[in-house]
Chain A
Amino acid sequence: MSTTTTRGTASPAPAKVSGTRPRRGLRASNTLNFWLFTGPFLIGLLIFVFVPIGWSIWLSFFDARFTVTPSNFVGFANYRHMLTNSDFTGSLVTFTVFAAFIVPTTWALSLGLALLVNRLRFMRAFFRSVFFLPTACSYVAAALIWKMAVFNGVRFGLANTVLGWFGIDNVAWISNPSPPWYWLVIVTVRLWLQAGFYMILFLAALQNIPTELYEAASIDGAKSGWQTFRYITLPQLRATSTAVILLLLIAAYQAFDEFYNIITTRATWGQTPLMVLYKTALGANQDYGSGSAGAVILTLLICVITLFQGKIMGFGRGEESK
């Protein structure tokens, strides 16, 4: 495991032709080989990724309701509509709130689990498997369990049953947004699904921390405990933490499945950007122009976020720079 995990960061620059410069024949065969290897993928990418993106951009400038081959050019009207549409801008707020909940909690929980499991001497594999197992569940299955068995609003939901033991009335976890219990439902479901996955990442990283560091620290008189955690473990996990946070952010940005199945599109809260796009384009409105404009705006946003994060953390660029 450690060999594979360390390889990435240390990988060499893309094979610049080494040694002898290629002769024409070799270069021609390189070209041929290149397309042989990448051709099928690139053709597919062109058809199934670039064409839809282009189509989306094209649609976003048209009045396209109930049609995807519109003829009425409207310029930036769809963009104006989406940017002034409180549903859409509200969904960006929802995303922000959601990310503010889910990113730190998942980070902390998965790191905590990794630290715990890493200290175990017996039954380590067992506990690791237990925490990892929820990753096997789909969001749909998890949403179903949460909605129908854990957090349903009637007497036979697990959460309400437990509250009932303490004499507390049934709580409508999802229908009633004040207090916003639905966040508890949404955050716990994702936490349960994701934490094990990121725990694995942290475990791998923890095992790559050289033992000598701790030994040296202990010789220097650092107390085993918070101090070594703060000054050795955390800094050593920085790269992993960065990656985890970025992954969590992107995942939160694209959240759809559990929101769609738990909150549904009828509510006005808890609507993520993708939910709003689904509703605008595929739902009752069938407004493909505005839906596409929203998609373009989202894409631009995610580009900005990624580039911004890349700038700050030097993520994913290192090996391309000369």
Chain B
Amino acid sequence: MSALSSNWDRRSIFRAAAGLGAAGTLAACGGNNGRGGGSGSGKQLTQYFHAYGEAGVEQAVKRYAKAYTKADVSTQWITSNDYESKLFTALLTKQAPDVFEFHPQIQLVKSGQVADLTDIIAPVKDDFNAADIKSHTFDGKTYGIRMIDDPQFFFYRKSMLEKANVSVPTTLDELIEAADKLTTSKVKGLFLGNDLHAIELPLIWSAGAEPLTEKNEIGYHTDAVVGGLRRLRKLFTSGNLLLDAPTDFWDPSAISQGLCAIQFCGMWAMPAMQQALGDDLGVFAFPKVGSSGRPSVYNGGWSMFVNAKGSNVDAAKEYVKWLWLDQKKYQEDFGTSYGFHIPPRTSIASQAEKLKSGLPAEGVKLFNTYGHFDNISWTQAMFSAWDGVISDSVRKGGDPEAALDACDKKINRELKKLFG
């Protein structure tokens, strides 16, 4: 009996093992998920892009990649609102992208995540907007290549302002007043995005402060900023602000669908707005906050980085050089064919006819006159800490000083980790 049963057992084990093996194979077969997949003579590269809202960008990016002959480049199009989480998480893994777009942020440099691109940029350095080089440089080394500059400012419906007899606001108080006059039962005066994230930096600059000082210490905690936060709170509770809109600030729908009269948005959405509203559209910078302030425009944008921990750093650098330094045609196409962006390279920007007249030209003027570029020391964690300030003081109605104090604590911890 004992022998018999152990015999049975052994057979059963085999059968079980076979079953598990089969299940394993099945899972493995199913596991082929679009990665790589190229014909595979050259090297394999993966690039990450966040999902651009404008039609055609994805196809364009893939078209450029296809034209590259020295490597097989596959594109990951990340349609999620926290692109940074996806990107950061992916960078920890074996399947990290070789090339990715992001903003210049020091923690990527400090953690050795992004490769030094100084050598490939050097030959064309002078052709770049100097501010774009500076914002990507730390300790004399340049870590990313700017693809597009995206100034962010207000768009307004000229007809609505005329009808309500409102002139273009030049101070935050005037903006708040305008919002009040423009609000009707169907239309809200102003849209700043659903969580007001987008106006954090403009608020600081327009109040005459800087996020961080030259020495990388906190620079945003000033009386003018506190005052600005107090006024924003007033605006937030006035009922003149569009909230919980179905789309966020980056999407032109709020203003094009007639949900608001003034919307904070970016240059990229200009073509879509013009298409919907025609000439009934104007732009102005984030107005000054308090008496000592100055209007400001956040010159955001996207840059290309090479994953220094990837397995094909050299091939990746070569690809980035090819596309974002050598192929001017593609760069121009990327900058002006879909949404409007300002090419960071002088030689391309000077030839971009679409940006030379009308509203786009006004946008370029705001960019040049009031623009502030990224500060490489201002990291994602600091953005996130400032989200807390807006949440606590403006949206929730807490004391701005207390909110800023809480933020100081977080940002100082971050600064200490980064700069010792």
A286 contacts which chain B residues (CB < 8 A)? 88, 107
Tell me what chain B mostly uses at the interface: helix, strand, loop, or mixed: helix
Partner of B113, one of A66, A86, A152, A278: A66
- B243 in contact with A269 (CB, 8 Å): no
B388 at the interface (CB under 8 A from A): yes
Sampled A-B contacts (27; CB under 8 Å): A36-B12, A65-B107, A65-B417, A66-B88, A66-B92, A86-B406, A153-B245, A154-B246, A154-B259, A172-B243, A175-B194, A175-B195, A175-B244, A176-B395, A265-B82, A267-B395, A268-B391, A268-B392, A278-B85, A283-B82, A283-B384, A284-B85, A284-B88, A284-B379, A284-B380, A284-B384, A285-B384
B12 contacts which chain A residues (CB < 8 A)? 36
B381 at the interface (CB under 8 A from A): yes
Shortest distance in angstroms between B143's beta carbon and chain A's nearest beta carbon? 15
A269 contacts which chain B residues (CB < 8 A)? 391, 396
Chain A, range 264-295, C-beta contacts under 8 Å to B? 264-269, 278-279, 282-286
Interface window among B2-10, B156-164, B174-182, B285-293: B2-10
A11 contacts which chain B residues (CB < 8 A)? none
**Contact flag A174-B381 (CB < 8 Å), given A29-B9, A33-B9, A36-B13:** no
Most B-side CB within 10 Å, residue of A65, A169, A269: A65
B319 contacts which chain A residues (CB < 8 A)? none
- A282 in contact with B85 (CB, 8 Å): yes
Interface residues of A (CB under 8 A from B): 25-26, 29, 32-33, 36, 40, 65-68, 81, 86-87, 148, 151-155, 157, 169, 172-178, 264-269, 278-279, 282-286
- A65 in contact with B5 (CB, 8 Å): no
Chain B, range 100-119, C-beta contacts under 8 Å to A? 107, 111, 113
Q: How far is the CA of A285 from the CA of B387 in the complex (A)?
A: 13
A172 contacts which chain B residues (CB < 8 A)? 243-244
Tell me what chain A mostly uses at the interface: helix, strand, loop, or mixed: loop
Most A-side CB within 10 Å, residue of B85, B197, B239, B406: B85
**Beta-carbon nearest neighbor of A269 in chain B:** B396
Q: How far is the CA of A68 from the CA of B88 in the complex (A)?
A: 12
Q: How far is the CA of A284 from the CA of B195 in the complex (A)?
A: 17
Q: How far is the CA of A276 from the CA of B309 in the complex (A)?
A: 28
C-beta contact mask, B236-271 vs A, less than 8 Å → 1, else 0?
Answer: 100100111110000000000001000000000000
Chain B, range 75-89, C-beta contacts under 8 Å to A? 81-82, 84-85, 88-89
- A266 in contact with B197 (CB, 8 Å): yes
Q: How far is the CA of A301 from the CA of B392 in the complex (A)?
A: 27
Q: How far is the CA of A278 from the CA of B86 in the complex (A)?
A: 12
A173 contacts which chain B residues (CB < 8 A)? 244
B81 contacts which chain A residues (CB < 8 A)? 264
- A268 in contact with B244 (CB, 8 Å): no
B395 contacts which chain A residues (CB < 8 A)? 175-177, 267
- B245 in contact with A154 (CB, 8 Å): yes
A151 contacts which chain B residues (CB < 8 A)? 244
Most B-side CB within 10 Å, residue of A26, A33, A154: A154
- A32 in contact with B20 (CB, 8 Å): no
B215 contacts which chain A residues (CB < 8 A)? none
C-beta contact mask, B1-43 vs A, less than 8 Å → 1, else 0?
Answer: 0100110010011001000100000000000000000000000
A87 contacts which chain B residues (CB < 8 A)? 388
Report the count of interface residues on B (CB-CB < 8 A). Answer: 46
A157 contacts which chain B residues (CB < 8 A)? 244
B381 contacts which chain A residues (CB < 8 A)? 284-285
B82 contacts which chain A residues (CB < 8 A)? 265, 283
B53 at the interface (CB under 8 A from A): no
Q: How far is the CA of A36 from the CA of B195 in the complex (A)?
A: 55
**Contact flag A155-B186 (CB < 8 Å), given A36-B9, A175-B195:** yes
Q: How far is the CA of A148 from the CA of B113 in the complex (A)?
A: 38
**Beta-carbon nearest neighbor of A153 in chain B:** B244
**Beta-carbon nearest neighbor of A283 in chain B:** B85
**Beta-carbon nearest neighbor of B92 in chain A:** A68
Shortest distance in angstroms between A184's beta carbon and chain B's nearest beta carbon? 13
- A267 in contact with B242 (CB, 8 Å): no
- A178 in contact with B417 (CB, 8 Å): no
Q: How far is the CA of A87 from the CA of B82 in the complex (A)?
A: 19
Shortest distance in angstroms between B78's beta carbon and chain A's nearest beta carbon? 14
Other 4 A-B pairs with CB < 8 A, given A174-B194, A178-B396, A178-B397: A32-B9, A152-B246, A283-B82, A283-B384
- A154 in contact with B9 (CB, 8 Å): no
Most A-side CB within 10 Å, residue of B82, B245, B259, B383: B82
C-beta contact mask, B391-420 vs A, less than 8 Å → 1, else 0?
Answer: 110011100000000100000010001000
Q: How far is the CA of A291 from the CA of B238 in the complex (A)?
A: 38
Shortest distance in angstroms between A56's beta carbon and chain B's nearest beta carbon? 15
**Beta-carbon nearest neighbor of A148 in chain B:** B246
B91 contacts which chain A residues (CB < 8 A)? 66
Q: How far is the CA of A153 from the CA of B413 in the complex (A)?
A: 37
B6 contacts which chain A residues (CB < 8 A)? 29, 32
B242 contacts which chain A residues (CB < 8 A)? 153-154
**Beta-carbon nearest neighbor of B245 in chain A:** A154
- A267 in contact with B111 (CB, 8 Å): no
**Contact flag A283-B84 (CB < 8 Å), given A67-B92, A86-B406, A175-B395:** yes
